[in-house]
Amino acid sequence: MDFSIRKANPGDEGGIAILVSEFRRLAYGGEKPMDEAVKTVKKQLENCFSDESRLLLVAVDKTGEVVGYSAVHWLSYLVFGGTEGYVAELYVREDLRDRGVGGRLLDEVVAEAKSRGCVRLMLVNKQKRESYKRGFYKKQGWVEREDAANFVYPL
């Protein structure tokens, strides 16, 4: 498959919103109306453009269609004396998986993290997800932490 990875641009919100809607449907069983999804993505894109602690990468095919994305947040860690990158989201269109898109998105995240002098990257991958079951992140060189629990505080 012929595709490229780049930082998201104004105007990408429609393509990203389609993927976000697919992700929500597959992972959580619900969807927002598309106009709401586009508004949400557009606001997040604007935040990324004005805040250096956020990064949104997109994978686009040769026609310019967005076929995958990754959202990353850069967090200062005093104890590590540096920055950690948190991969909040990585999603590839369902019918285009196993073609190297997700791996290339992660490669770009790693390159960006190195250019920023990050000490490490982290992400959360739910064990029920297909990507976990097929060992996607392990195959990309990521190491599963056995000594940590992931907690959320619902608001």
Q: Which residue has the tokens 């791996």?
A: 103
35 domain-assigned: yes
pLDDT at residue 37, as a whole number: 82
14 domain-assigned: yes
148 domain-assigned: no
C-alpha span between 82 and 117 (Å, rounded)? 7
Domain that holds residue 120: 3-139
C-alpha span between 81 and 97 (Å, rounded)? 37
Contact 65, 17 (CB under 8 A): no
109 domain-assigned: yes
pLDDT at residue 15, as a whole number: 94
CATH, residue 71: 3.40.630.30
147 domain-assigned: no
pLDDT at residue 109, as a whole number: 98
pLDDT at residue 62, as a whole number: 95
Q: Which residue has the tokens 């948190």?
A: 86
146 domain-assigned: no
117 domain-assigned: yes
The domain tally of the chain equals 1
C-alpha span between 72 and 75 (Å, rounded)? 10
C-alpha span between 21 and 39 (Å, rounded)? 12
- φ/ψ of 56, rounded to 5, equals -125, 115
pLDDT at residue 23, as a whole number: 85
| Strands (E) located in the chain | 3-7, 54-61, 66-77, 82-92, 120-123
144 domain-assigned: no
pLDDT tens, residue order, the chain (155 aa): 799 999 999 999 999 999 998 888 777 777 777 888 888 889 888 988 899 999 999 999 999 999 999 999 999 989 888 999 999 999 999 999 999 999 999 999 999 999 999 999 999 999 999 899 999 999 999 999 999 988 989 89
pTM: 0.90
- φ/ψ of 91, rounded to 5, equals -145, 135
pLDDT at residue 141, as a whole number: 95
Q: Which residue has the tokens 């999804």?
A: 37
